[in-house]
Amino acid sequence: MKQELIYEGKAKQLYASSNQGEVIIHYKDDATAFNGIKKASIENKGILNNAISTRIYRYLGEHGIRTHYLETLNESDQRCLAVTIIPLEVIVRNVAAGSFSKRLQVEEGTPLQHVVFELCYKNDDLGDPLINDDHALALGIATEADLAQIRAMTFSINQLLIQLFLQCSIELIDFKIEFGKTASGELVLADEISPDSCRLWDMESHEKLDKDRFRRDLGKVQEAYQEILDRLIGVLDK
Ligand code: UDP
């Protein structure tokens, strides 16, 4: 049962649960971009992201990825394992876009000759700076064993997500994931996987079906998220 609010983030709220070792995650309609400078509420975003993340987490779980996800309780809430989040944004890039394109002057949409794995230090005051493994070790953010496991799990997750979205006629350009440690010390995938945290382009038209519609004022944000959900339902809810 949902108890007191423990933490409020930009897009979700975390509630204590009457079940030991669990939390309840509530998906909000709020959207932010550019480190919180741009803010809006997108109608139904919480419901859509809960439904999308639920399906992606179940799919990853069925394919052997250990995650924090336990159960979807209603249209906005999930029951998850309580974890201590490792303050790293783990980013995978299959195609150039966003900050990669800007920083390295590579045109958006250019396929990459090698999958790029990036770490950012999750720290709003610093604007989530890009760091490397040595920085993460030096700051005590993670151990070498954690980093090796994060990298291996992340590459498996990338392969699984590429395959899933391919079946939806969607190209997985890039995405961000987070990891946490359970009370017993197990490393698990945590946080959401949704159009808020992935770049997803229609395979044929290359239309953006993700948060870039909000970041770049392209309109039809809700419609794009609904499209992602509908395609996932078509593939996964048989
Ligand atoms: N991303 C995210 N949260 C962040 C930063 C990035 O979910 O705080 C996702 C983003 O949606 C994209 C990927 O990580 O799918 C790579 O983002 P990028 O570094 O290009 O940053 P951006 O252009 O969004 O600033």
Q: Whose CA is nearest to atom 19 of ligand 1?
A: 99
Please report the pLDDT score of residue 238 as a whole number. 81
Torsion angle in degrees (nearest 10) through CA of 201, 55, 64, 186: 100
Q: Cα(224)–Cα(196) distance, rounded to whole angstroms? A: 11
CA dist list (Å): 55 to 9, 93, 230: 22, 22, 11
- Predicted TM-score (pTM) of the model is 0.97
Cα(197) to centroid(ligand 1), Å = 6
Q: Whose CA is nearest to atom 2 of ligand 1?
A: 197
Please report the pLDDT score of residue 129 as a whole number. 98
CB neighbour burial string for 127-162, b if at least 16 within 10 angstroms, e if fewer: ebeebebeebeeeebbeeebbebbeebbeebbebbe
Strand partners, 179: 189
* Pocket of ligand 1 contains residue 94 by CB under 6 Å: no
Closest CA to 22 of 76, 89, 88, 71: 71
Please report the pLDDT score of residue 179 as a whole number. 98
Q: Cα(198)–Cα(84) distance, rounded to whole angstroms? A: 23
* Pocket of ligand 1 contains residue 24 by CB under 6 Å: no
Which residue do the tokens 């649960």 mark?
17
Q: Whose CA is nearest to atom 13 of ligand 1?
A: 175
CA dist list (Å): 59 to 55, 147, 157, 220: 6, 24, 10, 27
SS3 at position 229: helix
Cα(95) to centroid(ligand 1), Å = 13
The pLDDT tens digits along the chain (238 residues) read 889 999 999 999 999 999 999 999 999 999 999 999 999 999 999 999 999 999 999 999 999 999 999 999 999 999 999 999 999 999 999 999 999 999 999 999 999 999 999 999 999 999 999 999 999 999 999 999 999 999 999 999 999 999 999 999 999 999 999 999 999 999 999 999 999 999 999 999 999 999 999 999 999 999 999 999 999 999 999 8
